[in-house]
Chains A and B, each alone.
Chain A
Amino acid sequence: MSEKVNFKYKDFLIENVLKLKSDKPEKEVVAQLNLIQRKTIDKPVITVSINSSSIISGVQKLKTDIEEYLVDRNIDAEIIPVGSLGLSSLEPVISIQLPGKTRLFYKKVLPENVISILDGSFNNFIQEENILGQLKNDIQDAWEQVPFLDELAYFQNQQRLILKNCGFINPESIEEYIASGGYKSFYKVISKNTPEEVCDIIEKSMLRGRGGEGYLTGKKWKIAYKTPSDQKYLICNAGESDPGAFMERLLIESDPHKVVEGIAISAYAIGVKKAYIYIESEYDLAIERVKNAIAQAKEFGLLGHDILESGYNLEIIIKKGAGAYVCGEETALISSLEGKRGKPHSKPPYPATKGLYNQPTVVNNIETLVNVPIIIEKGIEWYKSVGTKDSKGTKVFSISGKVEYTGLVEIEMGTKLRDVIFRVAGGIKNGKRFKAVHIGGPSGGSLTEKHLDTLIDYESIMLTGVSLGSSGMVVLDEDNCIIDMVKYFMNFMQKESCGICIPCREGTRRMHEILENISKRPKDENGHTTLQRFKGVMQLESLAEVLKDTSMCGLGKKASNPVLSTLKWFRDEYEEHIFERNCEAGVCQELRTFEIDVDVCNGCTLCAKKCPTGAIFGTVKNVHFIVQDKCIGCGICFETCKFSAIISK
């Protein structure tokens, strides 16, 4: 990407697309645009989805294979990188388009099957097991007996506004982005609207912050806009940090220009000349692509000094995060940008009046910002027609866990949880039973089967005690243990707390210990651990409440959400662990009980020697047995037995 790109269509795109007055472009312009967008092509085009997921699935090797294939067979075709369709579990995805035909998408393309897929495509024969679908194209011939992508359940049940371009366009090409309508909203705004008007539009659209409490974005902007200061800042928070979410990463990788445009419009509205994108340093590809996007936008005069003769100046700076979940909290993020430990501050004062370097600062989540160009493009009324009464627009999730398709999904606010899991994501893998869905990562909560008809919007989700905080959605099946899940989050939180305020630092630690204690058998029936176990259980709820009540920042306040929500909806499972000392899913290893299979045991005595509590009795060459009262369930015998004579229950 580092080589200097020659922008063939730069002037054409600026004059005939961005600055176009009428809604209907000339015929020649349309033809040109079709060419840039590859709706019409004169030689075969192969797109390869290059993103974090596909890289792990080996796409880089695949790309070289394709290149070699073309060279070997002397085929003149273009290879174009694209982002992610959202179907991470089907990566690597490639598309092949022949002149005159629609674009065909293939899934799970691997070095072992790529040659036959390519062979087939170039010879009008479709390898069925890898076919994903074809992209509708009104000017080209469709393939027979190949489903259209938008007819697939995965796409059909989504409403893709934010992800519209993802996986289809080349994320490294500003020309393609502009040809598909990009930066038009930005140009419209800076040439026609005052900043205050833009704030108004966003406020009236009822766009709510996607990151946290769902505060009205336009309202927040106005506070910052109206606070007098020479220097104001906009920070685009793309530091996911939720250990199970990857939405922001894939979004930037797939459509970085949309992010840049979102930031640019918002910055204009707030009166910001310097905007930051805060992004995890591990997101190499995302950083590379957004860096490229910024450079290209500058080249096109869309960033920098006197943007498209509007008199408006804007600089976007990339700041790499160094790994801290708490930096998702806006005041901690600001500390981090100032070159300090990511320590949150008490609010008020809110960043909108006193933020980065004590100046008015708006911190917006990336998903919030990419909504902005859409609202400008489609208008307030249209945007308000999407979603529910109080939650407008769409919501993007990164869905993972035990579902058929893991990846990104974008659904209209008000969609049922059930539809997301069972229609879009294809339901539970391997025919297992649905158990729970966890929304919002370590600050979120888990919902049960009876919540599947809950609508996904701020209010309905809030009613279940869970907040629509992050974009992570993890689905659990019958093989997962809720206690284990909560323990995982609590462990994460005790490590990620900034360590400053007492409730969060000490509270998460104790709550994690309590969960540890109930997911293992007490070491000694009369001993300290039994007492600890019961004392802990009694405290779990009140600890969680105090944490919520007294913590300094959102991280601490929400750290107990997984506990509180599961105590509410999965109380049975807690009781099963506490009273029956049983983990139905078999995940809590230290609750297991062991027995010796009398038919298999040959009396080698190894298990008895290794048992740390002396719970195994038996003599040489005779069958051994386990005294359950003494057993602590450590499983050492199970691992030691060479004859599989120990049975775990």
Chain B
Amino acid sequence: MPDLDEILEKYPFVQRDNLIPVLQDIQDEFGYLSEEAIVKVGKYLNLPTVKIYGLATFYHHFRFIAKGKYHIKICNGTSCHVNSNILIINELEKKLGIKDEEITKDGLFSLEETTCMAACGEGPVMAVNDKYFTNLTIEKVAEIIDSYKSMEE
């Protein structure tokens, strides 16, 4: 894993418009933005940390806690909504005991609601890390989660 400095070195110009790309790169690498990272970026780009924090909390791709071992993205696009994805979301929340943007205590699962994933014909859709699951039903979701849980036992 490269350290922060390596990421920062890719941006030789101290310009405010580099802020979002820098943060994106850091998150791609570390999974989230730590306080340490924000302080470092602030020093590098000569920006007050409150401005970085204010910006990062504005955009919903930025997160401040690590992702779970299994990061679950559930599509909450319009089409999935009209295909009753709320039942799936409820089931996920019930099964995992967490809500959107949260992580389970054991660090295994984290949940994220996203906008359209472009598979509207197959909704409701979700992804666990890079694996996609389509045409979800409550039963199917329960099975999927259970299978991941049993892999950990």
Contact = CB atoms under 8 A, between A and B. Distances in A.
Query: CB atoms of A and B under 8 A apart anywhere in the complex?
Result: yes
Interface-central residue, A90, A244, A340, A402, by most chain B CB under 10 Å = A244
B125 A56 contact: yes
B119 A401 contact: no
A322 B79 contact: no
Given A339-B16, A342-B59, A476 B118 contact: no
Interface in B82-125: 82-84, 114-122, 125
A89 B60 contact: no
Interface string B9-32: 000000111111101100000000
Contacts of B19: 339
B16 A244 contact: no
Interface stretch (A245-253, A382-390, A550-558): A245-253
A88 B119 contact: yes
A486 to B, nearest CB: 11
Contacts of B127: 56
Contacts of A217: none
B92 to A, nearest CB: 16
B30 to A, nearest CB: 15
Nearest to A340: B55
Nearest to A496: B60
Given A243-B115, A324-B59, A58 B120 contact: no
B121 A53 contact: yes
B122 A438 contact: no
B81 interface: yes
A55 interface: yes
Chain B, interface size category, equals 35 or more
Contact of B17 (A322, A338, A438): A338
A244 B60 contact: no
Contacts of B81: 244, 485, 488
Contacts of A448: none
B109 to A, nearest CB: 20
A402 B115 CA distance: 18
Contacts of B21: 319-320
A474 interface: yes
Interface in A293-325: 319-324
Given A89-B120, A400-B121, A322 B78 contact: no
A89 B118 contact: no
The bracket for how many chain A residues form the interface is: 35 or more
Nearest to B55: A341
B59 A476 contact: no
A323 B79 contact: no
A561 interface: no
A58 B132 contact: yes
A90 B121 CA distance: 8
A472 B122 contact: no
Contacts of A582: none
Given A243-B76, A244-B77, A338-B16, A57 B82 contact: no
Contacts of A434: none
Interface in A268-293: 281-282
A165 interface: no
A243 B118 CA distance: 10
A246 B59 contact: no
Contact of A339 (B20, B83, B117): B20
A341 to B, nearest CB: 4
Given A320-B20, A320-B21, A488-B78, A400 B58 contact: no
Contacts of B76: 243
A372 B30 CA distance: 41
Contacts of B114: 282
Contacts of B78: 242-244, 400-401, 438, 441, 472, 474, 488-489
Contacts of B84: 587
B93 to A, nearest CB: 14
Nearest to A88: B121
Nearest to A407: B121
B34 interface: no
Contacts of A241: 115
Given A340-B16, A401-B79, A56 B61 contact: no
B119 A56 contact: yes
Nearest to A438: B78
Interface string A393-415: 00000101110011100000000
Contact of B116 (A245, A281, A319, A587): A245
Contacts of B15: 339
B43 to A, nearest CB: 16
A480 interface: yes
B44 to A, nearest CB: 13
Nearest to A87: B121
A281 B76 CA distance: 17
B79 A249 contact: no
Contacts of A58: 132
A630 to B, nearest CB: 24
Given A337-B17, A342-B59, A281 B24 contact: yes
Contact of A400 (B16, B60, B120): B120
Interface string A44-60: 00000001110111100
B48 to A, nearest CB: 13
Contacts of A56: 117-119, 122, 125, 127, 132, 134
B77 A243 contact: yes
A341 B17 contact: no
Given A485-B82, A488-B78, A323 B61 contact: yes
Contacts of B60: 322-324
A97 interface: no
B77 to A, nearest CB: 5
B80 to A, nearest CB: 8
Contact of A405 (B79, B118, B121): B121
29 contacts: A51-B118, A53-B119, A56-B134, A57-B134, A89-B120, A89-B121, A91-B121, A246-B118, A246-B120, A250-B118, A282-B61, A282-B114, A321-B59, A322-B23, A322-B60, A323-B59, A338-B17, A339-B15, A341-B54, A341-B58, A400-B79, A400-B121, A402-B82, A406-B120, A474-B82, A476-B82, A480-B82, A485-B82, A498-B58
Given A341-B54, A402-B82, 7 more contacts: A89-B120, A243-B77, A320-B24, A339-B16, A400-B78, A401-B120, A406-B79
Interface of A: 51-53, 55-58, 88-91, 240-246, 249-250, 281-282, 319-324, 336-342, 398, 400-402, 405-407, 438, 441, 472, 474, 476, 480, 485, 488-489, 498, 587
CB-CB nearest 4 A-B residue pairs: A89-B121, A244-B78, A400-B120, A322-B59
